[in-house]
Structure 1
Amino acid sequence: MTIVMKKRKTAKEGVTAPPPTITQPEIVRTLADLARIAGVSTGTVSRALADKSIVNSETRERIQSLAKKHDFRPNQMASKLRSRRTGFVGVVIPLGHERRQHISDPFFLTLLGHLADELAECGYDLMLSRVIPDGTKDWLEKVTRSGMVDGVLVIGQSDQFDIIEEVAAQYEPLVIWGHQRAHQRHCVVGTDNLAGGRLAVEHLVATGARKLLFMGDAAGIEIQMRLEGAKAAAAAAGIALKHVKITLAGEDMGPQIEKSLSSRFSYDGIVAASDLIALSALSALHRIGKRIPQDVQVVGFDDLPLSSYSAPPLTTIRQEISRGAKLMVEKLKERMGGKNTPSVVMPPILVVRESTRSL
C-alpha cells in the first residue's frame, strides 16, 4: 500500500514539490511470498531454509537473510506432514484392573513429569490418554493407528498384557513401563518387582518382624510379582504373611486399610504394594494407637518424593523412576528409527528410614 502526501503550493513557491512516498515493507506469510522476493522457486526456498547443501551457499545465505529480515517462520505443521512426523508422542495409562484410580496418583504424576521433561528435551510434545478398556481390545490400537503420534509410551501393563503383546507385533515404536516376563515381545522398562517384594520382607524379618501383612491389589502384573516375591521370602523365613486386597482408588483405600488393621489378625510388619498405600497405613496406625516402628514396621514401594516427609519417614523399595523415564524415551527414539531394542529391568533398592527398626 502506498501513501501519497501532497504539499500545498504557496505564493512564494512557483511550483509544487514532488510528493514524498512512504512504502510499507512487504508482508511475507508463505514460501511463495519469500520466493517472489528472492527471485527463486518455492522449492529452492524450502531447501534453503532447511539448510540443504543442494542450494549453493550464496543463495542459501541470501534466502535465510531475507527470511530473518521479514520475520518469516515456515509452517511447522505443514513441514511435519511432509516428513510424516507429528512431533507428538502418545502416553497412555490403561486402568483395566483399577478403573477408579486417578492420574493424580503420585506415582503417575512423578513418572509423567519425568517423561514430559525427557520428551521436551528431544523436541516432542506429549499427548496423554487415560484408558479404561471395559472389555474392548482395540484401546491401544486406536492410539497407534490414529496418525496423531510418532510413537507410544504406556505406563503400566495393568491386566492388559496380551493386548499389548498383540499390538507390539505390528507396531514398533512402543515402549512400556512395567514388568518383564520371559519371552515377551513388547519392550519394557521397569523394576524387578519379584526381587523388590522379596527385599521388603527380608528387611522386615531381619529387623524382628514375624507376622506380616501384604497390602495391595494383585490383579495388575507389577503388584502380583511384588506379592509373589514377598510370599517367597516369608516362606523361606518360615513366617506368616497375609495378603489384604487394597485398591489404589483414593476414596476406597483409607477405609479398606483401617478395616484390615482393626481385624483380629495380629501383625507386626506391613509390606505395602505402593508408597501411597504405605502412607495411608501409617496414618491409620496412628489413629488406632499403634507405635511405628515399635509396634508395627512399614515398608512401601516406589520411593516417591513425599515418602521421606511422612511421620515417621517411610522405609521403601526404590524404583528409579527418573532413570526409567529417560530409558523409555531413549528406547522409543531408537524404535522410531527402526531399531529393535531390548527391555531394561532395573534392580530394586532398599531405602531404610524410620518406619522400620534399624539392624
Structure 2
Amino acid sequence: MAAADDKDTRTTVRTITDLARLAGVSPGTVSRALAGKNLVNAKTRDKIVDLAREHGFRPNQMASGLRRQKTGVIGVVIPLGHDVRQQISDSFFMTLLGYLADELTREGYDLMLRRVVPESDPDWLDRFIGSGMIDGVIVIGQSDQFERIEEVADGYRPMVVWGNHNEGQRHCVVGTDNRLGGRIAAERLIAAGAKRIAFIGDPTAMEFAARLAGAQDIAARMGLPPIIILSTHLSPERASEEIAAHLAEHGQHIDGIFAATDTLAALCLTELRGCGIVVPEDVKLIGFDDLPIARQTVPPLTSVRQDIAAGARGLVDLLLRRLGGETTESLVLPPELTARQTA
C-alpha cells in the first residue's frame, strides 16, 4: 500500500534560488560554491554540489539558458544602498532608462525594471539573476554595493554596470571618468573666481567620491583651502532641507559650489535665492550630468556633461556581446564642460 501511494516528492530545482532554499544558504553562496570559489567552506560547497547533482541542476544551466535567450528580457536594477529614499523618478535615472529602453527595444528585448534596497534584501542581485526571468542584467549605479557586484561577477558573465571604474575591478562597467569630471568642475569654478569651494552630495557613493577627489586634486594644485564637504541626500525633500541648513552654516564662507548632480545644483539655486545669495555674482555654481533641467534653471546651469545616450548604447552593446560569450573590457567615457551662466 505504501509503495502504491509513493510519489516523487523531490523539490523541483530550476534556479540558483531554488537550490539555495533547499541547501539553507543564500543564492550568493550557491553561486560561489558552484563556481568553485574558496570563499565557501568545503563542507558547505560539497553539500551544495551534491544537492545540485541529486536534483539534476548543472552549474552552467543558467548560462546555457541565457545563450539561448530564453526570455527575451533584460533586467535593469537600481540598488539604493546609500540613499534609500531616492526615487526612480530622479531625472538622471529617467534619462538613462529612456535611452536604455530605446536601445533594448531596437535589439528586440523587453526591459524588466527593479528598484532594490540592499539593506532589507542582501541577496537582491543573486535572486534577480537566478529568477529565470531575464537573459542578462544591467545594474545602474554601484551605490555601496561594489563588493556584492564583484562577487556576483565572478560567476555570472551577462552583467554590465553603470558606474565608476576602478583599476583591477572584475565587473564590467560603463561610465564617465568621474575624477576627470571633478577636475573640470573645480577648474571652471576657480577660473570664474571662486576660492572657497564646497561640494554638495553624498561622498560615500562611488561616483560622487571620485568627482569630489578630482575637485580636491585641483584645489590642492592651485593652493586653495580644502574643499568643504556638505554631505547631502538625493531625495528632493531631504536634500532641500539639508542644503538650506548647509547654506545657513557655510553660505557666508564659500564662493563656489560643486554639486554632485544637476538635480542637487537646481535645488541649490532655489535655496541660494531664498537666502538672498546671487548666482554667479556671490556664489559660482556647477552641476554634473548636463541633464535637460540644466538648460531650464534661472540662470541656466553650467554643468559637466556625461554622454548618457552613448552610455546606454555602450551598456547594451557590451551586455549583448557578453551574452554571446565574449569577454569585454569596461568603457570609460570622457566628460565635457557645458558652460552656461552659473559659473
Deviations 1:100-119 (A, max 9, x none): 10001100000000000100
Aligned to 1:251: 237
Q: CA 1:207–1:89 in 2, change beyond 3 Å: closer, same or farther?
A: same
Matched, 1:230 2:211: no
Among 302, 305, 321, the residue aligned to 2:292: 305
Q: Aligned pair count?
A: 277
Deviations 1:128-175 (A, max 9, x none): 000101165421011111110011000000010011011011111100
SS of 2:155's partner is: coil
Aligned to 1:315: 302
Aligned to 2:338: 351
Q: Which has the larger radius of gyration?
A: 1
Aligned to 1:92: 77
TM-score normalised by the chain length of structure 1: 0.75
SS of 1:169's partner is: helix
Deviations 1:248-275 (A, max 9, x none): 0111000111111121451111000000
Aligned to 1:122: 107
CA distance in 2, matches of 1:227, 1:349: 16
Aligned to 1:263: 249
CA distance in 1, matches of 2:154, 2:297: 44
CA distance in 1, matches of 2:147, 2:120: 13
Aligned to 1:59: none
SS of 2:253's partner is: coil
Residue 287 of structure 1, CA deviation? 1.1
Q: CA 1:236–1:151 in 2, change beyond 3 Å: closer, same or farther?
A: same
Aligned to 2:61: none
TM-score normalised by the chain length of structure 2: 0.79
Matched, 1:204 2:189: yes
Aligned to 1:276: 263
Deviates more, 1:306-315 or 1:131-140: 131-140
CA distance in 2, matches of 1:122, 1:313: 36
Q: Which structure has the higher relative contact order (CA within 8 Å, separation 6+)?
A: 2
CA distance in 2, matches of 1:137, 1:82: 27
What letter matches 1:130 in structure 2? R
Name structure 2 gaps, 5 residues minimum: 1-64
Deviations 1:294-326 (A, max 9, x none): 111100000001111100000000011000001
Q: CA 1:159–1:122 in 2, change beyond 3 Å: closer, same or farther?
A: same
Q: CA 1:280–1:82 in 2, change beyond 3 Å: closer, same or farther?
A: closer
Among 160, 170, 177, the residue aligned to 1:192: 177
Among 135, 149, 154, the residue aligned to 1:164: 149
Aligned to 2:228: 242
CA distance in 2, matches of 1:342, 1:110: 24
Deviations 1:3-22 (A, max 9, x none): xxxxxxxxxxxxxxxxxxxx
What letter matches 2:296 in structure 1? Y
Q: CA 1:82–1:177 in 2, change beyond 3 Å: closer, same or farther?
A: closer
Q: CA 1:226–1:81 in 2, change beyond 3 Å: closer, same or farther?
A: closer
Deviations 1:196-250 (A, max 9, x none): 1111011111111111110000111000111111111111111122010010011
Identical aligned pairs, as a percentage?
A: 50
Among 159, 165, 171, the residue aligned to 1:180: 165
Name structure 1 gaps, 5 residues minimum: 1-79
Moved over 2 A (4+): 80-84
SS of 1:209's partner is: coil
What letter matches 1:274 in structure 2? T
Matched, 1:289 2:272: no
Q: CA 1:231–1:81 in 2, change beyond 3 Å: closer, same or farther?
A: closer
Residue 81 of structure 1, CA deviation? 11
CA distance in 1, matches of 2:279, 2:67: 61
Deviates more, 1:311-320 or 1:254-263: 254-263
